[in-house]
Chains A and B, each alone.
Chain A
Amino acid sequence: MFFHLFYYKLISFLKTAVDKRAVSVVRALASFLVFLGFAYSAYTFAFAATRFLLEHTRTGLYLYHTFISMLLFVLFIAVNLGNIIVSYSTLYRSSEVNFLLTKPVSFTTIFALKFFDNFFYSSTTLFVVAFMALYGYGSYFGYPWYLFAGIMLFVLIPFMFLSACLAVLVLMAIMKLAGKIGFRKVMAGLFALYFFFIYLFFDSSNPVTLVEKINRYYPNVDAYFLHTAPGILEYLPNHWVAQCLFYVARGDVVHALPYAGFLLAVTIAAFSILIYVADRYYYRSWLVSLEVQSATRKIYDQAHRHFMDFRSRSIFPSQIEVMIKKEFFSFIREASQWIHLVVMIILTGLFAVSVSNINLNLHVMDVQMLTYLVMFVFGGFMVSSLALRFVFPMIGLEGQTFWALRSSPMNGRKIFLIKFLLGFALILPIAEYIAIASNIPFMSLPALRPLLLWSGVFTAFWMSLTMVAFNLGFGGFFANYLERNPIRAASSQGATLTFLATLLYLIAVVTSILIPVSAYFETLFRFKLLDRNLFLIAGVLIAVLSSFLSFIGFLIGHRSIRRDF
């Protein structure tokens, strides 16, 4: 039965994907080219970063893999949290599940079908990125082809699969508890638990401490770190993957195999437990989800009027007022939206607090400049992710109710502008906060400090503007009005393409600031005279590029709003 259903899902997918119309062919070709460009960029970046860190900054092999382990931990948590949120929609609120439950199909089959659908739908891009990063990393060490295939199939995919299995197990536990003590309490407890674990991890393997230790022991850091790995890391899958990669990189495949084997065994065990639990509990938890949903139903009290109430007067013209209120209520009454925003804001806050506390006491120019650029890129990456997650779906989430706006006397430009301003109001403060926080470690040098700070603030403004306009515009262009899940919308093919395009923009911005930032650090460490015009030129370049891309975003978004609906 599973394969029968899978076959028809595949046919349905292929019929949607293989569209012979000229527009679709051009779009698919463009998508392919962007993917190709991004895949190549991921490869080049991984290759160059590996070479730079191992050769130029003389980061040792072990330390380098400690960094990889931290990145893998972030990836594990991201896949895990993402799967919890998306799985709730696919397993408990899907019309396909409702349909299949009325047919003679076992609950386990339905569960397995939706689980795989969910995993492959949301992780395809991650597979491509992971493979190309692996290819770039492995090319540096000159790996043969079968080693790439082996690591991908038996290490990286099981690693992500394990994360997804644990996510769904956690979700079913949430549903069981929610039936007893209420959904909100369970979610609050779960988030507290997650942040406790994240705190524990970074407390034992803190990037801030890591950077500080690098500064203290540089350049003989690898030997130091080889013997200082905290014991708790031994039990985490990201550590097994990093260790496996470390031994393979040393050419010691025999020592790598136990880590890969252990990871594989744990993944198979987790999947078996998942299927066992689903077999016993999925349908019951589905029934609980109905109770949870009905428990949130309530009659809104008409006696109390707050300032966002539709009946309250507003300083805005009526069309703008009702649009803002509609967007506000649609956001805060959708758990997957506000919970995800809270999580991302907390993570951004943690990042900002961490980087602002870095004590850069080593006077080595390359390390300081690299730290600055890494933080800049990471900050840009976070802004880009936020824009993708919350701005990209804004037009598509109008859904089939878009008829109400489209048939009203409100023009498309105004609809787009209001959505743009709301997205911008969300992203800009976060971007500026990150920009200021990541400049704090570099503010101990009084003579020049405002320059780097103001440059960061300026760039954050233009980056926010562009990311919002671009995501909103392309979100409209790729809008699937049938998709009601914002997370699935933000991980669709169109969203991935948009994300890749914004990453290319981010690379262009980093390239623009490379020369002035390099000149800045040379002034600090080598006492060369700083030509401030370099910052001016970079600023103009960023402003022109950002304006152009924002205009493209506006144009495409505006046209998409006027399309046949």
Chain B
Amino acid sequence: MEETNRSLPKTDPLMIQIQDVTKKFGSFTAVDKLSLIIPKGEFFGFLGPNGAGKTTTIKMIVGLFAPTSGGIRVNGWDIVKQPMEAKQSLAYVPDVPFLYEKLTGREFLYFIGGLFKIPKPVLKNRIDELIDHFEIGSWVDRRTEDYSQGMKQRTTIAAALLHTPQSIIIDEPMIGLDPRSAKIVRETLREQSQSGVSILMSTHSLPVAEELCDRIGIINEGKLVFCDTREQLQRDKLRYDGKFESVFLEVTKQ
């Protein structure tokens, strides 16, 4: 693993760089020599069937899993060797938005802000701003144990944006969101990407991926089996019946 890390090329630091990453659980290989680079400001859609290795890859990028081999750099920092620096520049939104049940949404936001060492006055303004932006003011002072899935999701996304990250790793962001909230989230992510934040978004929703992403990768059985820009995807679709779904089914065929 160290050899691989040393051989990582020097590139623009504001990006996510995955090189030859493998993750094994016993004899099962969840991610198999995956390599991927997401440049600054790119919105990357990460797709794949259930159990393909999406969440495992994401958990490795954010430091929740240690890779079995290979290297991952986040904004220039090695996630294994320099985890604090890497995490400081990163935001993560998990697939299931678990929150501390006994805290209110506002307290949770303060908690996350404190972990990222945001000064109190700045944090207060930022929290007020995000509460307005995500329209969560009417219930943010209730305990999160009373929240619906959508409320939790909006709180988690707001928490992720507190420290103005350089990269966002977001796993299934649209689950449980009502149409209005989904629109707010989509627009927020697009704005973030346009302002230079690199985003890796895992999703099962092909239309959302097509709408938002600059580039789309499909992972199957731990291997990246498809990776193209949105423009190229349009051309790929024409080789089938013009539907992204057909491309997806073809490349993930067993």
Contact = CB atoms under 8 A, between A and B. Distances in A.
Interface of A: 21, 297-302, 310-311, 313, 317-319, 321-323, 325-326, 329-330, 333-334, 399-401, 403-411, 562, 564-565
Given A409-B87, A411-B83, A400 B114 contact: no
Contacts of A329: 102-103, 107
B61 to A, nearest CB: 10
Nearest to B100: A401
Contacts of B116: 408-409
Nearest to B88: A409
A407 B92 contact: yes
Contacts of B65: 564-565
B96 interface: yes
Contacts of B59: 564-565
Contacts of A325: 107, 111
A217 B149 CA distance: 69
B115 A300 contact: no
Contact of A21 (B26, B66, B113): B26
B103 A322 contact: no
A500 B236 CA distance: 64
A313 B92 contact: no
A517 to B, nearest CB: 45
B141 A564 contact: no
A322 B62 contact: no
B98 A403 contact: yes
B143 interface: yes
B112 interface: yes
B117 A318 contact: yes
B110 A322 contact: yes
B193 interface: no
B64 A401 contact: no
Contacts of A21: 26
A410 B64 contact: no
A126 B64 CA distance: 37
B143 A297 contact: yes
Contacts of A408: 87, 112, 115-116
B12 interface: no
A322 B111 contact: yes
Contacts of B115: 318-319, 322, 404-405, 408-410
A321 B114 CA distance: 8
Contacts of B118: 318
Nearest to B142: A299
B104 A326 contact: no
Output the residue of B84, B124, B139 with the most chain A CB within 10 A.
B84
Minimum-distance CB pairs A-B, first 5: A322-B114, A310-B110, A333-B102, A408-B115, A409-B88
A323 B100 CA distance: 12
B227 interface: no
18 contacts: A299-B142, A300-B142, A302-B141, A317-B117, A318-B114, A318-B117, A333-B102, A334-B102, A400-B96, A401-B98, A403-B64, A404-B111, A406-B63, A406-B64, A407-B64, A408-B112, A409-B88, A410-B84
Contacts of A301: 141
B92 A403 contact: yes
Contacts of B146: 297
B106 interface: yes
A564 B63 CA distance: 8
Contacts of B85: 409
Interface string B58-95: 01001111100000000000000001110110101010
B8 interface: no
A298 B142 contact: yes
A404 B112 contact: yes
Nearest to B108: A404
B120 interface: yes
Contacts of A330: 100, 102-103
Output the residue of A317, A329, A405 with the most chain B CB within 10 A.
A329
Nearest to B159: A404
Interface string B107-136: 100111111111010001000000000000
B99 interface: yes
B42 to A, nearest CB: 21
Contacts of A310: 106-107, 110-111, 114
A319 B64 contact: no
Given A302-B141, A404-B111, A404-B115, 7 more contacts: A297-B143, A317-B117, A326-B107, A330-B100, A404-B159, A408-B112, A565-B64
Contacts of A298: 142
A486 to B, nearest CB: 12
Contact of B100 (A326, A406, A565): A326
Nearest to A564: B65
Output the residue of A300, A302, A404, A405 with the most chain B CB within 10 A.
A404
Interface in B11-51: 26
A407 B63 contact: yes
Given A329-B102, A409-B115, A411-B84, A311 B124 contact: yes
Contacts of A410: 84, 115
A304 to B, nearest CB: 12
A564 B64 contact: yes
B44 to A, nearest CB: 18
A319 B88 CA distance: 13
Contacts of B94: 403
Nearest to B87: A409
A325 B115 CA distance: 12
A558 B92 CA distance: 23
Contacts of A562: 66
B66 to A, nearest CB: 6
B159 to A, nearest CB: 8
A500 to B, nearest CB: 29
A21 B26 CA distance: 9
Contacts of B102: 329-330, 333-334
A322 B106 CA distance: 13
Output the residue of A313, A317, A321, A564 with the most chain B CB within 10 A.
A564
Contact of A407 (B62, B106, B117): B62
A513 to B, nearest CB: 41
B103 A326 contact: yes
A177 to B, nearest CB: 24
B241 to A, nearest CB: 39
B54 to A, nearest CB: 16
B141 A299 contact: yes
Nearest to A318: B114
A341 to B, nearest CB: 15
Interface string B137-153: 00101110010000000
Contacts of A313: 120
Nearest to B144: A401
A330 B98 CA distance: 14
Contacts of B64: 403, 406-407, 564-565
Nearest to B65: A564
Given A318-B114, A409-B88, A411-B83, A400 B98 contact: yes
Output the residue of B26, B88, B103, B112 with the most chain A CB within 10 A.
B103
B151 to A, nearest CB: 13
Output the residue of A401, A407, A565 with the most chain B CB within 10 A.
A407
Nearest to A297: B146
